[in-house]
Structure 1
């Protein structure tokens, strides 16, 4: 019997196969090959399309297909083994079967000048833990380098942020506000609380009307640009959908409403709600590059982001700082 993790991975792969087949049928292509390199929060996904016997690199693949493929690395991760670093997907028509070949140990390859920051290697092991025997030497070396060069400063900063967060929610230690928060368990509302409540209420109503089991929302943003994707899960199948009435308006407010002085705004966020629990969950990434669906973040958007949501230098990821300075 499949575990919940295995069932999710199987269903995601099957949905990816269906979307890819429908796309190839629509454009009447003969074959597609996809090469996916990834580590940490960084990924490089390249499509080659074969039409009339000619194979070419595709700069603008179908975004729904790309989104499904991009999600596979995460859902196919295995505790103790981690996530694969490279995969080759291919499908030929009219067969319409998606094949996959993966490597869990080889070092991923990125474009020259776009190699991952050391942060991504550390994040990789935190996000997708591996048993000692499953950690390749190249990954171990880069994590050790991060721990030697960045670890002490990072840990100090984390301790400072935790203390700042404690003061923000409880008040200074020993204060009346701290004692009251400890006694009642009630913490002050965080930034964007009203906007989050509005999004929760509208998502909840939409989910109830749809009769689906779950809704997932992925948001990527930079500057004034946002890309939002919605999925409904019904009868165990997850499908992309258009946002329900009023939902998009509320969801698109969240990033700017939840921005914080000195910290900026998160760059990507995942929201989800299960129909039986009716609780809106949110998990956000404040440092990784957002996927806006039209290539890597350019200098203009990076500059706009820092103007709209200023960050302290130590809270600004290298990729955002470097591109804004170009």
Structure 2
């Protein structure tokens, strides 16, 4: 009888603790340095989550190793709902890019929901002879083996988009990796490299200012922002089915209680309807996710499909990290 009472008391205390969640600040780990596009999304999301969660939400930047250091930290964190992870497409590409990961992508996290999708743009140096996508293709074919394709480093959005573009058009290019988007963009503006495929969060300003040649967007539908609305899609330009977006999702350590996950997901759904959050994301060219991938189960299915999509592309390129 005493054992039953003790067990019942512990269960009651446990239930009370989870019912009080959150009772202290929540940390969202962004696995990249401050100031980048994922950090921007994270800070916008943190602001939008504060009201529906009723708690302070803090961003912690844990950069390094293509986002895997920050992801590993969350995988090993206490499963209490106070340490979360905001990660981009690297969640699905790291299993193929890295020979060894300190976590299991599909096993060591609770999937909370997708946040947004950021389109990509194919751009070129301002002195490039081509002005349209058909002209670009002709120029690429005439300069096989001489074209320099810039990216922000192994596993970066620009690296992944560049890999898929090369494999789709079947034109060999020289990949030039940089330590971040800023130096890659600087060399593109200066004419040291020829083309780059990067997120609208990084390219919209340069396109609007006319500082780069803009050829196409990577979504299957044209984009709404004024600076990008006139750009054709690669799909309509002849690369049927070409569709690359840099999505962001929210995760918790494996074993986080279901009741806590439900509270976070409810808050996430409210945040994605927040007018200020929507305005900030749309200004970046991002599209807020509103379909069933906002739920944990569909979010995980989506990541599984992305792993299957990118694995053969990355393996064919033979570009790995230790």
**Structure with larger RCO (C-alpha < 8 A, sep 6+):** 2
Q: TM-score, normalised by structure 1?
A: 0.25
Q: TM-score, normalised by structure 2?
A: 0.25
